[in-house]
């Protein structure tokens, strides 16, 4: 994913973030704070897959863990109430798995957010 305007978009590699050390097997790949629109900033929780084949419930758990940590950990104490759970894939996805992911929701600050499933190569401005 290409990040536009690096002064207003911050990308966190979750593997390097201590906030995720309590549940290392169920974590997303990246957390992005997108503040390009200052009136409506958003968190983007990203899970990247080469292919989406089987186990969409595990992907949902990874995205949910990202949302939980953002909501609860003081390292993410920024007043942002919008969330975009995002699955990026490189080589394609099994249609049933995509449908399962699109039906699933990620809870964040009392609201349920739909999961976007997109191909790699988009810019942050093209996401939801």
- Name the more confident of 66 and 39: 66
Question: Residue 27 and residue 99: Cα distance in Å, rounded?
Answer: 21
In a domain, 50, yes or no: yes
pLDDT band at 1 (very low <50, low <70, confident <90, very high): low
In a domain, 79, yes or no: yes
Q: Where does the chain show beta strands of DSSP type E?
A: 9-13, 30-34, 42-49, 82-89, 105-108, 111-114, 116-119
- The pTM assigned to this predicted structure is 0.88
Please check whether residue 45 is in contact with residue 70, taking contact to mean a CB–CB distance below 8 angstroms: yes
Q: Percentage of the chain surpassing pLDDT 70?
A: 96
Structure tokens at 105: 């929701």
User: Looking at the 3D structure of the chain, how many domains does it have?
Assistant: 1
Please check whether residue 86 is in contact with residue 52, taking contact to mean a CB–CB distance below 8 angstroms: no
In a domain, 2, yes or no: no
In a domain, 111, yes or no: yes
- Which residues share a beta bridge with 30? 13, 46
Classify 98 as helix, strand or coil: helix
In a domain, 4, yes or no: no
pLDDT band at 2 (very low <50, low <70, confident <90, very high): low
Our CA angle for 41, 75, 27, nearest 5°, is 85
pLDDT band at 121 (very low <50, low <70, confident <90, very high): confident
Structure tokens at 45: 């929780």
Domain residue limits at 61: 9-126
In a domain, 74, yes or no: yes
């Amino acid at each position: 994913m290409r990040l536009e305007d690096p002064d207003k978009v911050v990308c966190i590699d979750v593997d390097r973030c201590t906030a995720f050390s309590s549940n290392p097997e169920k974590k997303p790949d990246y957390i992005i704070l997108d503040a390009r629109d200052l009136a409506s900033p958003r968190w983007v929780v990203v899970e990247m897959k080469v292919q989406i084949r089987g186990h969409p419930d595990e992907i949902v758990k990874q995205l949910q863990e990202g949302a939980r940590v953002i909501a609860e950990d003081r390292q993410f104490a920024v007043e942002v109430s919008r969330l975009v759970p995002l699955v990026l894939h490189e080589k394609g996805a099994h249609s049933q798995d995509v449908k399962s992911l699109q039906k699933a929701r990620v809870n964040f600050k009392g609201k349920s957010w739909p999961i976007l499933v997109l191909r790699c190569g988009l810019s942050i401005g093209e996401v939801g």
